[in-house]
Amino acid sequence: MSVSSKYEGCSSWQEIAAKHRETIRLPTGTVSDDYALGEWSRKANQNDVSPSNSKPGPSLASLLQHESTKRIWSSSLDDVLQDLDATGICGLTRSGKVSVQDVTRHFLSRASIVHQATNCLSHFFPDEAMHRAKQLDNKRSQLEKEGRLDELGHLFGLPMSIKGHMNYNKHGSQRGFVFDVLPDPANHPLLQRNLTPKQLQLLVSTQGGFVSENPVNSSIAALLLQNDAVIIGKTTMPQGVMHLDTTNNLYGQTLNPHNLALSPGGSSGGESALVAGGGSALGVGSDIGGSIRQPCGVSGLYGLRPTTQRLPYGGVRSTMPGAEGVGSSLGPMATSLRDVELFMSSLLNEQTRPWEFDHTVIPTPWRKVDSLLSSPRDKPIIVGVMMEDGVVRPTAPVRRALSQWVDKLRTASSASGTSLPRIELRRWDPRDLHRRAWDLIRQLYYMDSGKMFHLLAKATGEPLLPLTQFILSEPFVRSPTADLEADAAGEPTNRKLDEMSYLESCAVIRAREAFRKEFLKHWNDLELDCLLCPVMCNVAPRPATIKYWGYTSVFNLVDYPGVVFPSGLKADSKLDEQFESAPTDGEFGYEARSGWCSEQDRENAQEYEEHQEVFDGAPVGLQLIGRRYKDEELLKHAELLQHLCGSNSD
């Protein structure tokens, strides 16, 4: 069957989605017969509700001892690869101690198991991956004979995954809309019935192009291939890319491998689930409001949202093409901090030179910056600390983790006789900055009043999901409903309900620039090197419940790089109750709650309190923010803080 004819007979969005899901085929012999492995995924996707209101779900790790699952999960490389990060795996493949084919086969089997538990894959191509692995083994053999092993790519033989909207080969890209999988939307009867010719042309010209008969690689995929990586699959994302959860009408709900009652975050939630579950050695996500940092933070991973235009964005499918009110960044999602640096240094150097073939990236190679663990420094490192943002107070496990890190940093800053740089902590007072940032960025996301989202849903008749409806809600985003109805009837549109006018869009961009200026002044007044803060107002959310992005999106608004890392702590209802019963005060403490900061604050607190035990076992991540285009220094600051605080305490 040709690509263009695959969905011709489908008369509803449900039929299109079902036919597309059939393309996600798991390799023969990698499907477990353990009912419990996929039980929580089925539960989450049968009724489109949270799979649990009263107890935590099992972790993926706890389900691996079933005979069938264990057979698939295990391989001859178990002992060799145990506890190795991507950097360690690349060391083995580059040295020839293990073959790329064996490593790829190992991860393909595990990716299949992770998907069965979490529903994280949007595309899976094991045959292609094994073919490439064989090519790379042959390449290494030939280069070894010629004494040219130094020509191997930095990511040689590394099994990797990428987020679903990044083009790769003939697999196209999707953004969680059913429309995305149609190769020829202009000629599909369902779309012709649901849309006016004008609306259909608008979508085809700006939103089409899911699948090509010819290979098409995004710039990021091309760089991975140039570095000799093996791309094994693509991962799920939420409807329209704009949730801190991962659910859509095309693939359903994705779950968190640490606690299968919870979400892996979003929008790069498929990536976080696959990498955290052990099915991919290194992942690539995107971040326009927190979509790398939040899923890494709630899944026990390390993730970097670089300053915009550090990594090339060409060939990445956007839901709002042409809208540049808020820039999006691509970045790594990893199991170690050094893997983050490996990724960035491998893709941005004088050999790869992505700025010469992709206009979206600035010509700035990744700079080598000395570690703060070994280089002497007279001046202290000034670390700002934001305990809460004044809009939504973090829940107990987040506050407990941040408080513990602050206590350790204060102890380290007062210690004598150490060769490490001195740490000086300064309290970041959010004032009303973060409240205004959340209001402003929502306007910048949807300067078209969400018209494109509504059209994409209308095209196939799929419903807009609750979290999509929320992010499109008034008063920050105008309702386009009347405009769409008038357009469909051929009537004049109501300008007030349509997208922003030119003068209005100029005004909101001016507001953004004024905010950035004010934010920078606040940062400079404190003389900060970096800022430590929560990555989210709670741990991993129950599916379809998380609405507030403010702890990450404010930094997208000002375009500051951010790195997320595990705190070493997990949600524990008993420990968290003890923490709540002994509120701290002082410069870096938490006073007892005296009221709600906002309606979102009330909702967040009640969600946690009513379902507290469901969150047990969920990892707590923290976030470190750096100065714009000081991404390299930011990683060294994170390395220092991690060394001082550790990530293995509980």
pLDDT over 60 at 649, yes or no: no
CA separation for the pair 109, 48 (Å, rounded): 28
The residue with greater pLDDT, 417 or 39, is 39
Average pLDDT of span 565-588: 90
Catalytically annotated residue among 6, 43, 163, 636: 163
pLDDT digits (tens, 9 = 90+) for 579-622: 988 877 678 989 888 899 999 999 999 999 999 999 999 999 99
pLDDT digits (tens, 9 = 90+) for 195-220: 999 999 999 988 876 666 788 999 99
Most confident of 315-329, 486-500, 622-636: 622-636
Is there a catalytic annotation at residue 12? no
CA separation for the pair 283, 234 (Å, rounded): 9
Report the chain's mean pLDDT, rounded to a whole number. Answer: 93
pLDDT over 70 at 486, yes or no: no
CA 373 → CA 407, 421, 509, 637, distances in Å? 20, 8, 41, 10
Is there a catalytic annotation at residue 112? no
Q: What is the DSSP letter of 258?
A: T
pLDDT over 80 at 306, yes or no: yes
pLDDT over 50 at 650, yes or no: no
Number of Cβ atoms within 10 Å of the Cβ of 371: 11
Peptide linkage before 76 cis (omega within 30 of 0): no
Per-residue model confidence (pLDDT) at position 322: 77
CA separation for the pair 89, 286 (Å, rounded): 24
Q: DSSP letters along 125-139, please?
A: -HHHHHHHHHHHHHH
Which residues, other chains included, contact 324 with Cβ-Cβ below 8 Å and sequence gap of 6+? Answer: none
SS3 324: coil
Average pLDDT of span 342-347: 98
Number of Cβ atoms within 10 Å of the Cβ of 566: 21
The residue with greater pLDDT, 227 or 481, is 227
pLDDT over 70 at 352, yes or no: yes
Per-residue model confidence (pLDDT) at position 647: 52
Structural Rg of the chain based on CA atoms: 24
CA separation for the pair 571, 549 (Å, rounded): 20
Average pLDDT of span 339-348: 98
CA separation for the pair 217, 358 (Å, rounded): 12
Cite the residue boundaries of each domain of the chain with CATH code 3.90.1300.10: 18-45+58-178+204-356
Per-residue model confidence (pLDDT) at position 213: 75
The residue with greater pLDDT, 614 or 477, is 614
Average pLDDT of span 228-243: 97
Enter the pTM of the model. 0.96
Per-residue model confidence (pLDDT) at position 488: 53
Catalytically annotated residue among 32, 99, 267, 318: 267
Q: DSSP letters along 462-500, please?
A: PPPPHHHHHHT-TTTS---HHHHHHHHTTPPP-GGGSSP
Per-residue model confidence (pLDDT) at position 489: 54
Per-residue model confidence (pLDDT) at position 480: 66
User: Which band of pLDDT confidence, cut at 50, 70 and 90, is reported for residue 47?
Assistant: confident
∠ at Cα 370 (365, 374), nearest 5°?
A: 165
Average pLDDT of span 284-294: 98
Does the domain spanning 18-45+58-178+204-356 belong to CATH 3.40.50.740?
A: no
pLDDT digits (tens, 9 = 90+) for 507-551: 999 999 999 999 999 999 999 999 999 999 999 999 999 999 999
pLDDT digits (tens, 9 = 90+) for 386-421: 999 999 999 999 999 999 999 999 988 776 557 889
Catalytically annotated residue among 50, 291, 449, 647: 291
**Taken in order 606, 612, 616, 622, is the CA torsion positive or negative?**
positive
User: Which band of pLDDT confidence, cut at 50, 70 and 90, is reported for residue 2?
Assistant: low
Average pLDDT of span 475-485: 66
pLDDT digits (tens, 9 = 90+) for 11-35: 999 999 999 999 999 999 999 999 9
User: Which band of pLDDT confidence, cut at 50, 70 and 90, is reported for residue 483?
Assistant: low
User: Which band of pLDDT confidence, cut at 50, 70 and 90, is reported for residue 485?
Assistant: low
pLDDT over 80 at 125, yes or no: yes
Per-residue model confidence (pLDDT) at position 501: 87
pLDDT over 70 at 572, yes or no: yes
The residue with greater pLDDT, 497 or 318, is 318
Per-residue model confidence (pLDDT) at position 648: 45
- Percent of residues, the chain, with pLDDT higher than 70: 94
Number of Cβ atoms within 10 Å of the Cβ of 50: 19
Look-up of token digits 């002992």: 79
Peptide linkage before 475 cis (omega within 30 of 0): yes
Per-residue model confidence (pLDDT) at position 209: 64
Average pLDDT of span 364-369: 97
Which residues, other chains included, contact 113 with Cβ-Cβ below 8 Å and sequence gap of 6+? Answer: 30, 32, 37, 60, 64, 69, 72, 73, 277, 279
Instruction: Return the structure tokens found at 282.
Output: 């290194």
Find the distance separating the first CA and the last CA of the chain, reported in whole Å. 54
Per-residue model confidence (pLDDT) at position 417: 58
Is there a catalytic annotation at residue 163? yes
CA separation for the pair 500, 445 (Å, rounded): 12
Phi and psi dihedrals of 503, rounded to 5? -65, -35
Average pLDDT of span 622-626: 98
H or E element that contains 160: strand 159-163
